[in-house]
Structure 1
Amino acid sequence: MSTITFYLISLGLVFGVVWGIHLMNKPQTAVKGNLLGALCILGSIILTMSYYGILDVQLLWISMVIGGLIGYIWSLWVKMIKMPQLVALLNGFGGCASSLVAYLILVGRSEVNGFSLIAAAMALAVGALTFSGSMIAAAKLNQWLNQRPIIVKNHSTINYLVLVFLIFLLFMIFLGGNSHRSLFTALVAITSLFIGVFFTIRVGGADMPITISLLNSLSGVAGAIAGLAIRDPLLVAIGGVVGASGLLLTQVMCRSMNRRISDILGGKTVITQLENDLNQSEISSEDLVYSKSNQQDEKGSKEENIDSILRSAQRIVIVPGYGMALSQAQHLVKELAEKLEGMGKEVKYAIHPVAGRMPGHMNVLLAEADVPYEQLCEMDDINPSFKETDVVLVVGANDVVNPAAATATGTPIYGMPILLVEEAKHIIVCNRDKNPGYSGVENPLYQREHVTMILGDACESLSKIMSCLDNNEGDLV
């Protein structure tokens, strides 16, 4: 195969990947887009093998079959509730693959030109830290590690010092000569793995969607740099697409949470850093009591006639949150929505961009329950309509509906755009308890006169509501 032919076919495959991403923008064509992207990646692998004359290497085909079978089994075995963990693992595997390619270039060749040497060293560093960071993220999401931030003394200082040491090692790979290259390569790999772990352990559950998006971007960057090292334009292009799209998504999510990526990387949004700085007297008691003591409302839950509230409503908005994911209540949410629609109600879903533990977490769970995508509304689209909404049903959401985000200066959620559910005529909150969300900021929404609390597991609370509608009973709380 000539080089020109290889480049032309590569260009077509890259265009296919980009077009597949474009098709995934719409639910009607998302499956086709995903399939197109996968087929283009498979075509890229076969094209590369053909160009380098290794199509007859049986071990490569065996490896591809084994990898394909593992991926297929995972697709059948992993439930939607575990999708964030799977995404984190896939990010890590991408980084690991790039770092292995870079490692082989650095230690497997005696003569490597300067450009390939620098590119391989950078790919090794980025790929290794992406791998270790993704493994920690997956462990946190699967609750093998504490989801709260894990911080050691002088955490940031240690991070900066290790980062400087990594940069020094990268220079030494380039300047140290062949005799010490293997040693410095191993040190770069170990140091990068440490940085990935040390960075990710201090990211809490609420910032995990941004972290996963960033790690996804880094996996693409690692692939692109590895492509530069081996002079493979196809790998450079596809890795660049993944890296750019992941970085763009990271920036969008940062704006949605009013976060700066530098703050998340530096651990500056962690609650424990704000605990001693917050002046309680400066915060209106009507808006917020910021405390980590998980204070309970003395008034208890209100006695409301849920049946009459829902039956008299015409416009109903459901707000899903991480609590719905934990309880796996998405199917009950869909069942309740269908019951309300059968009563002639208009039902929509309000989706906050960072609800859950990965980008699009709520969309994925509701899609599993076969909720029509047309009923899912983004925050900016639905916020103006809350004033005309009769009932908002909050299922396992807290910080994303916390009105203290507009008033509680100095707290992790201050300035974060939220769903303006407090403007609705009535709000029914199905949360496990009245404790603050991940941010540690108590939610003044629970004290509003037009709010009804149904405490407990989301599945049990939704079952009570449906039983109430069936039996015309209103005493739920």
Structure 2
Amino acid sequence: MTELPIFTQLSYLAAAALFVLSLKWLSAPTTARRGVAAGEIGMALAIAGTLLLPDIVSYRWIIVTLLVGTAIGIPLAYLMPMTHVPQRTALSHSFGGLAVGLVGTAKYYLWAAADPARLTHFTIGVICFEVLLGFLTFTGSLMAFGKLQELLPTRPIVYRGQNVVNLSLFALALIIAVYLTIYPLTSSLFPALIALALAFGVLLILPIGGADMPTVIALLNSYAGLSASAMGFVLENKLLIIAGALDGSSGFILSIIMCRAMNRSFTNVLFGAFGQAAATQTGSEERPIRSASPEEAADILLSAARVAIIPGYGMAVAQAQHKVRELFDQLTRRGVEVKFGIHPVAGRMPGHMNVLLAEADIPYDRLLEMEEINAELSHTDVALIIGANDVVNPAAKNDHASPIYGMPIIEADKARTVMVIKRSMNPGFAGIENPLYYMDKTLMLFGDAKSFIGEIVKAIAAQKS
């Protein structure tokens, strides 16, 4: 490979440092904006350095593809609402996986035809790894997008022997990859490897329910990063190796954090079909519940000294984050201390609730992680739950027979009064009833979260300070 120009070497070095700093700063809400800016500057430097490589013969198609990518990326960023960030993230992973898979495929056939000596055992092994992960990330992320967008059923799609079929396909893909590594010029098997990777990506996501999407998004992010790192070895690009490794390792660590937050293993998330028994429980209508009007809820909130707001996916669906900000402002003006409890897997992607509340300019210091808010709930007057289900279900602590037993939850049941905004008494994605809804201290506030909170805000504003 031709020696890199000095500007390219310096830009790659700076970009690598910025990528590391970006991950560091993105780990805290107060520095997240700085982290995003560092990542953007690092990527701009990486692209600029790459465009100066002496190997480039013509810029025509590079410019065309940059324009096409820009034409797609800008509308995705500006037109997609913040509530659809999980879907946009899944699409981004899909595009990344497709790009990696196509580059690996192109390199294999180009070298097989023009320079077979370059297809060493190591090189073809890395190409197979890159193509396998890239294409399964492509179709798997498209499936995740379909589930998040509710174009596909959000609950697990299962059939008898499903795990055996999935693992058999993956094993067959690995066998082909090993064979190609030993006999690199057996090009007739390469399309089969691609087809198996594409099929496995679809089948991998089918049995995964909506409640597991935060973990799946993080895992697909890890796959995309690892495949990009492999592409760096193929292209002999050190920056791509570094960036892919950072992406892959951080995504994997985040997946582990998500699994711990649900007290679940990777195998249970990927092959457990969690939530498939939804709606099999009946009789919830026969159990007594207490409900309240917006005016009654406003009175209770105004009489409280401390309020904990616990958001969930229902807040995202209703796009209620700005109404939540109005409620926060009204209560704090009246001297009520308001804090937010954020469960790690609330929503459909890691940090989903943080993103939505940040969009509504909720102060960062009011957003508490699960352990922090749990330490305060026993002396909290009101816990207001907005569209959260399984992450506040006390069955996770008390019912050994519950499928979510052992999952760490936000212990809203410790508050003196609990109010839950929900459209209906339907269970969450785990498909089980929540005993919290039937406690004497609990009031159910039925309705759309955005509308109901708006009515509470009006009721508070109508009262004299």
> If the TM-score is normalised by the length of the shorter chain, which range does it land in?
over 0.9
1:231 aligned partner, one-letter code: E
Cα pair 1:296 1:435 within 8 Å, conserved? no
Compared CA separation, residues 228 and 466, structure 1 to 2 (3 A): same
Is residue 36 of structure 1 aligned with residue 38 of structure 2?
yes
Cα pair 1:106 1:121 within 8 Å, conserved? no
Q: Tell me how far 1:135 sits from its aligned partner.
A: 0.2
2:431 aligned partner, one-letter code: G
For residues 388-407 of structure 1, the aligned pairs below 5 Å read 388-407=379-398
Please list the CA deviations of residues 50-81 of structure 1 after superposition, one character each: whole Å capped at 9, or x if unmatched. 23431752221221232123212221111001
Cα pair 2:207 2:273 within 8 Å, conserved? no
Compared CA separation, residues 294 and 325, structure 1 to 2 (3 A): farther
1:225 aligned partner, one-letter code: A
Please list the CA deviations of residues 223-264 of structure 1 after superposition, one character each: whole Å capped at 9, or x if unmatched. 001111222111111100000000011101110011101211
Cα pair 2:395 2:402 within 8 Å, conserved? no
1:367 aligned partner, one-letter code: A
| Cα distance in 1, alignment partners of residues 223 and 414 from structure 2 | 40
Give the alignment partner of residue 70 of structure 1, picking from 63, 69, 72.
Answer: 72
Give the alignment partner of residue 247 of structure 1, picking from 237, 252, 255.
Answer: 252
Please list the CA deviations of residues 362-381 of structure 1 after superposition, one character each: whole Å capped at 9, or x if unmatched. 11111121212221111111
Please list the CA deviations of residues 276-318 of structure 1 after superposition, one character each: whole Å capped at 9, or x if unmatched. xxxxxxxxxxxxxx95336225424345843442222111111
1:204 maps to what in 2? 209
Compared CA separation, residues 339 and 240, structure 1 to 2 (3 A): same
Please list the CA deviations of residues 75-119 of structure 1 after superposition, one character each: whole Å capped at 9, or x if unmatched. 111100111000001011111111111101211112112211110
For residues 40-439 of structure 1, the aligned pairs below 5 Å read 40-54=42-56, 56-110=58-112, 111=116, 112-178=119-185, 180-181=186-187, 183-267=188-272, 269-272=274-277, 291-293=280-282, 295-302=284-291, 305-439=296-430
Give the alignment partner of residue 441 of structure 1, picking from 432, 447, 452.
Answer: 432
Q: Which deviates further from its counterpart, 214-223 or 95-104?
A: 95-104
Q: For residue 341 of structure 2, give the secondary structure of its aligned residue in structure 1.
A: strand
Identity %: 35
Cα pair 1:115 1:229 within 8 Å, conserved? no
| Cα distance in 2, alignment partners of residues 162 and 168 from structure 1 | 10
Displacement over 6 Å in runs of 4+:
none
| Cα distance in 2, alignment partners of residues 441 and 52 from structure 1 | 61
Q: Tell me how far 1:160 sits from its aligned partner.
A: 1.4
Q: For residue 146 of structure 1, give the secondary structure of its aligned residue in structure 2.
A: coil
Q: Which deviates further from its counterpart, 144-153 or 68-77?
A: 68-77
Q: For residue 164 of structure 2, give the secondary structure of its aligned residue in structure 1.
A: helix
| Cα distance in 1, alignment partners of residues 298 and 237 from structure 2 | 64
| Cα distance in 2, alignment partners of residues 38 and 116 from structure 1 | 31
1:285 maps to what in 2? none
Q: Tell me how far 1:336 sits from its aligned partner.
A: 1.0
1:278 maps to what in 2? none
2:28 maps to what in 1? 26
Please list the CA deviations of residues 148-188 of structure 1 after superposition, one character each: whole Å capped at 9, or x if unmatched. 1111221001011111111111123223452x31x211111
Q: For residue 101 of structure 1, give the secondary structure of its aligned residue in structure 2.
A: helix
| Cα distance in 2, alignment partners of residues 396 and 297 from structure 1 | 22
Compared CA separation, residues 365 and 229, structure 1 to 2 (3 A): same
Cα pair 2:308 2:340 within 8 Å, conserved? yes
Aligned-pair Cα RMSD in Å: 2.1
1:356 aligned partner, one-letter code: G
| Cα distance in 2, alignment partners of residues 453 and 146 from structure 1 | 27
Question: How high is the TM-score relative to the length of structure 2?
Answer: 0.93
1:287 maps to what in 2? none
Q: Tell me how far 1:350 sits from its aligned partner.
A: 0.7
Q: Tell me how far 1:48 sits from its aligned partner.
A: 2.5
2:13 aligned partner, one-letter code: L
Q: Which deviates further from its counterpart, 3-12 or 23-32?
A: 3-12
Cα pair 2:380 2:416 within 8 Å, conserved? yes
Cα pair 2:379 2:415 within 8 Å, conserved? yes
Q: Which deviates further from its counterpart, 52-61 or 112-121?
A: 52-61
| Cα distance in 2, alignment partners of residues 109 and 53 from structure 1 | 16
Q: For residue 269 of structure 1, give the secondary structure of its aligned residue in structure 2.
A: coil
| Cα distance in 1, alignment partners of residues 184 and 308 from structure 2 | 65
| Cα distance in 2, alignment partners of residues 122 and 411 from structure 1 | 39
Q: Tell me how far 1:437 sits from its aligned partner.
A: 1.1
Compared CA separation, residues 453 and 472, structure 1 to 2 (3 A): farther
1:145 aligned partner, one-letter code: L
| Structure 1 gap ranges (5+) | 276-289
| Cα distance in 2, alignment partners of residues 307 and 123 from structure 1 | 56
| Structure 2 gap ranges (5+) | none
